[in-house]
A and B are shown apart, each in its own frame.
Chain A
Amino acid sequence: MAQSAENARKPLDWEKLEIGETFPAFSYVLTQEMLDEYRTGVTDPEAAFPTISHKVDVGAYNRAYTDAGSVNARCAFYCYNPPAPGKRITVHAWIADKYLRRGKTYICTEAVSVDEDGRLLDRVITHELKQPGEVGKKWG
């Protein structure tokens, strides 16, 4: 199963990537353990959006494409309702934008998360630089 999913991924061709491409929706159950681990990791016992660490927008992209890796250049996050442990969360993700800057390629993914009661939880927009080696070259 994992092998066939891996085979379904295609190499990223940035030129051909279409803004607006929508990825298959997927869902997962948020557990109390996930929430606790997230809160411990960010040293914030009131952190309300563990959905951030799930990286749902780029996760959807990574299930569809293979590439040389990426670096998060910019991220926006909109809070609507904190997710509740035990609820199933469904994610809808798509390619929101792509652009070329200083000769480097970027893609912008976007996703919204909705829980099983139909509550809109959050929206995330991520800009990824698709040449991850630039980080080491610049900052070491």
Chain B
Amino acid sequence: MGVGRSYTIGDELPPLVKHMTQEAINLFEGSAGHHGPSQFTDEATARATLGTRGTVASGRMSLTFALEFLRRYFGSSIFNRGGMVDLRFLRPVRPGDFVTFKGKITGITKEANGSRVSVEISATNQTGETTGAGGGNCLVPSGFLPPDE
């Protein structure tokens, strides 16, 4: 195994930008068999249930994007077997929005089977409003880290 990658508190992750569309929302909902009208797919239902001017995306889509954000940074072989995200949804994300995920490393702690690298996450829309905030972490096995000094 080659020399692993090092992580430092304060390191910033490469941003991830996602474009929300109604088609994407419909596919997301439909992938699990949710084909009926809902606040996500039908404007009238959204107005009646949420009182919003139109549909909104499920917070789980932002959650999925945050997982992608961290997976791209840590690598799928590590993140998909030891990563997590905890996101609070602060504003609706609507069709047409561009959402940018940013983050930086806030902590590194040793555990029995590696080091847990913690990341602060924020999501903002195209007007700079924060749509989501929270954090995530990934357990990086020691074999993927540089040897201790």
**Complex contact A42–B32 (CB within 8 A):** no
A76 to B89 Cα, complex, angstroms: 11
A81 to B76 Cα, complex, angstroms: 11
Residue interface mask A26-53, B partner, CB < 8 A = 1: 0000000011011011111011111011
A68 to B80 Cα, complex, angstroms: 35
Nearest 6 pairs of A and B residues by beta carbon: A136-B51, A41-B27, A72-B59, A41-B28, A37-B31, A76-B86
28 contacts between A and B (CB under 8 A): A34-B31, A35-B31, A38-B31, A41-B25, A42-B61, A42-B64, A42-B65, A43-B18, A46-B71, A46-B76, A50-B31, A52-B63, A53-B29, A74-B87, A74-B134, A75-B86, A75-B87, A76-B85, A76-B86, A77-B67, A77-B84, A79-B67, A81-B81, A82-B80, A132-B39, A133-B50, A139-B92, A140-B53
Using A41-B25, A72-B59 as known contacts, say yes or no to A54 and B87 having CB atoms under 8 A apart: no
Question: Which residues in window 9-35 of B have CB below 8 A to A?
Answer: 18-19, 24-32, 34
Within the complex, the shortest CB–CB distance from B9 to chain A, in Å, comes to 22
What bracket does the count of chain A residues touching chain B fall in? 35 or more
Main secondary structure of the interface of A (DSSP, over half): mixed
Using A41-B28, A52-B63 as known contacts, say yes or no to A132 and B50 having CB atoms under 8 A apart: yes
User: Given contacts A42-B24, A69-B50, could you give 16 more A-B pairs where the C-beta distance is less than 8 Å?
Assistant: A37-B31, A41-B25, A41-B27, A42-B61, A44-B65, A46-B68, A48-B71, A52-B60, A55-B32, A72-B59, A74-B86, A77-B63, A79-B84, A132-B50, A135-B92, A139-B92
**Complex contact A42–B81 (CB within 8 A):** no
Whether a CB of chain B sits under 8 angstroms from the CB of A8 is no
Within the complex, the shortest CB–CB distance from B97 to chain A, in Å, comes to 12
**Complex contact B60–A53 (CB within 8 A):** yes
Within the complex, the shortest CB–CB distance from B139 to chain A, in Å, comes to 10
Which chain A positions have C-beta within 8 A of B60?
Answer: 52-53, 55, 72, 75
Whether a CB of chain B sits under 8 angstroms from the CB of A80 is yes
Question: Which residues in window 85-102 of A have CB below 8 A to B?
Answer: none
Using A52-B64, A71-B50 as known contacts, say yes or no to A42 and B28 having CB atoms under 8 A apart: yes
Question: Which residues in window 81-113 of B have CB below 8 A to A?
Answer: 81-89, 91-92
Whether a CB of chain A sits under 8 angstroms from the CB of B52 is yes
A34 to B79 Cα, complex, angstroms: 22
A28 to B63 Cα, complex, angstroms: 22
A53 to B62 Cα, complex, angstroms: 11
Within the complex, the shortest CB–CB distance from A104 to chain B, in Å, comes to 14
A41 to B26 Cα, complex, angstroms: 7
